[in-house]
Amino acid sequence: MPDPAALPLHLGIIMDGNGRWAQHRGLGRSEGHKEGLKAAKRITKAASDTGIRFLSLYVFSTENWKRAEQEVSFLMFLLKNHLLKEWDFYRENRIRVVHSGDLPGLPPEVQADLKQVQADTAVFDGLTVNLAINYGGQDEILRAFRKWQNSPNSPPLDVENFHRYLDQPDLPPVDLLIRTAGEIRLSNFLLWESAYAEFYFSGKYWPDWTDEDLRLALREYQKRQRKFGGIHE
């Protein structure tokens, strides 16, 4: 087991490989997304049980709208049909759900469900799950700047003040960022928040991820020496 005293406070995951997982099995991409949803629930439970406090999941990016209309529609269908239906899971595990991303750019019914699930779980004191939906790191930074620019009596712009205008300013910086499916890039995910994150890249497709994969990533993280630009003697 990873050392409970040296866990990342904030874990981010780029859940990649659903479509390829399905294609390698002769299935449609929608089947991969269904399995990816199961993996997200499985890893969320494992993160909660391990003692991680904040988990950000890259669900749907601002660039994902470029995909085939059928695939995008199915992803919105999954969101609509699961955000509120997982209430028992949230309650049993004391999970608080928050959202990062451009909310007005989502279908009205998805917007409504996101608002509802955040309100319903606001009192829970366990793992905070940040769902990045219609999210792009560059878009978040631009929207944050516009919030600052349009706020009356805006404070001088510095790193600390700017952070207050991000989508989830109460979340700490990302300590460990995981990406699955063998890709080695950030893909516009939590650019500001991941300035000093440790990266962990896995060759396994996201639907194949298990509790043990998470434990391996956490153990690897605990071997890292984090300097934050300084020098350890």
Which residue in 3, 18, 64, 211 is the catalytic one? 64
Which residue in 3, 16, 125, 139 is the catalytic one? 16
The ranges assigned to domains in the chain are: 4-220
* HSE-up (13 A, CA, CB side) for residue 73: 3
We find that the CATH architecture of domain 4-220 is 3-Layer(aba) Sandwich (3.40)
Tell me, yes or no, if 64 is annotated catalytic.
yes
Q: For the chain, 233 residues long, give each residue's pLDDT as a single digit of tens.
A: 788 879 999 999 999 999 999 999 999 999 999 999 999 999 999 999 999 999 999 999 999 999 999 999 999 999 999 999 999 999 999 999 999 999 999 999 999 999 999 999 999 999 999 999 999 999 999 999 999 999 888 888 999 899 999 999 999 999 999 999 999 999 999 999 999 999 999 999 999 999 999 999 999 999 998 887 776 55
Tell me, yes or no, if 16 is annotated catalytic.
yes
